[in-house]
Amino acid sequence: MTLLSGPPHVITVGAGLLQESLDAQAVPTTAVAWRPPLPGTADALARVLADPRLPAANERAVGRLTSARPQLVGVRRASEVLALPELMFLHAGPPIDWERASGPMRGALIGAMLLEEYAHDVPAAEHLLASGRVRLEPCHRHATVGPMAGVVSPSMWMLEVLDTEHGGTAYCSLNEGLGKVLRYGAYGPEVLDRLHWMDRVLGPVLSAAIELSGPIDLRALIAQALQMGDELHNRNRAATSLLLRELAPWVVEAAAGSAAEVLRFVNGNDHFFLNAAMAAGKVSTDAARDVPGSSMVVAMARNGTDFGVQVSGLGDRWFTGPAGVPDGLYLGAYGPADANPDIGDSTITETSGLGGFAMAASPAIVRFVGGEVADAVAATRSMYEITLAEHPAYQIPGLGFRGTPVGIDLTLVARTGVLPVVNTGIAGRVAGTGQVGAGLVKPPVEAFTSALMALADCAD
């Protein structure tokens, strides 16, 4: 009990008048810039915060998230590792059907129908998809994440990432590059040709290379890339280079004949590492799932129509709101009218303390997502206000090697009204267009408030 030992340093939260009277007495203070919680959340907040399980539950959830040790252990066909019977695809975001699917999601599904030869032309593919005979399930339900449309079909090669700390495994497809690609909903001949090449050459070569190299420590690689100016969502140039450096000798040993084209392809795609970062994020957040009473977000994902959130203490229930249209810069002559609402599982990077949350580490992308370096620093700083911890391994040099903000807490989002900062690519609205830009997107507030209400309903 040291309270009475001398004049106190006071944290003030509330009326400015009381703060002023302490200032007048020269009492040292720290003022909280308090504002009322999101409308309608006051009761739910009080109930969730009064749950005696909460502090320990959140400590456990964020502890598991930040202690995960994701390692790239293999590249394997989806049909080998995922339960994907014929006429079933995985997709990004919360559950959706053909009826409600947006342009790029439909485009990617059509492309996957053609790739798997479930249909021989576009009208036949559309017909079958619209008939309801094709099963669609979220990637997240299958220990998988997919960028943009995130469509996974049986023949695709998947990165296999193992969490050596907790034993979980997660998967993500191989990155096709930028421009007209399946994940942005393009399904033209050049898209399918590339996918066939990936199926024939890239997948088998990488698989053999990793077999030779042994596990690649993604946690260490991500930590290095952050210090080299990546935030691991919209900028993966350093991480891709590091991965390429690790893999190159093994690729040559595994398949000397194809090594040049494989290495050239990876080198030509600055986003190649994104899919590995996503699988690393997924395996880490999955380790934090199902902690009873925890208010920590374990998934944020979009299907192009809805933005969904999953919470550690709420099992695999999704809480959704309408996906917003990103605010950003456009390629060529594209503009906001061409943009599809937000899409993809890549927000798993933000959920695991990277991407928008690590923006301060990545001054190079700040202009691209519309802003100045100071905005990037402010974005990361504001995320510390809604997260439970600072990542012990993922650090930001510009902030004095402070750990990235990690572990989004629903109660802090509701209390502060501050929503997660999400960096993202922008897909074209019309099926088959591909990428039209990149920018920042604001998640819908109701996804977070409805999750909070549900948590309040099962509070002790």
Site residues, another protein (CB under 8 A): 1-18, 21-22, 24-25, 27, 30-37, 39, 42, 45-46, 49-50, 55, 377-378, 381-382, 384-385, 411-412, 415-418
- 395-404 CB burial, b ≥16 within 10 A, e <16: bbebbeebbb
Cα 350 to Cα 59, 168, 212, 383, distances in angstroms = 19, 20, 32, 10
Cα 262 to Cα 101, 243, 256, distances in angstroms = 34, 13, 10
Closer to another protein at the Cβ: 8 or 268? 8
The least CB distance from residue 29 to another protein, in Å, is: 8
The least CB distance from residue 360 to another protein, in Å, is: 11
Determine the 3-state secondary structure of 438 from DSSP. Answer: strand
- The number of beta carbons lying within 10 Å of the beta carbon of residue 34 is 12
The least CB distance from residue 3 to another protein, in Å, is: 5
Cα 224 to Cα 164, 243, 393, distances in angstroms = 19, 11, 9
C-alpha span between 330 and 257 (Å, rounded): 38
The least CB distance from residue 319 to another protein, in Å, is: 21
Closer to another protein at the Cβ: 129 or 386? 386
Closer to another protein at the Cβ: 33 or 256? 33
278 touches 348 (CB < 8 A): yes
The least CB distance from residue 296 to another protein, in Å, is: 14
Closer to another protein at the Cβ: 50 or 87? 50
Closest to 393 measured CA to CA, from 162, 173, 233, 165: 165
Closer to another protein at the Cβ: 24 or 337? 24
Closer to another protein at the Cβ: 14 or 335? 14
Cα 458 to Cα 12, 51, 294, distances in angstroms = 32, 9, 11
The least CB distance from residue 302 to another protein, in Å, is: 25
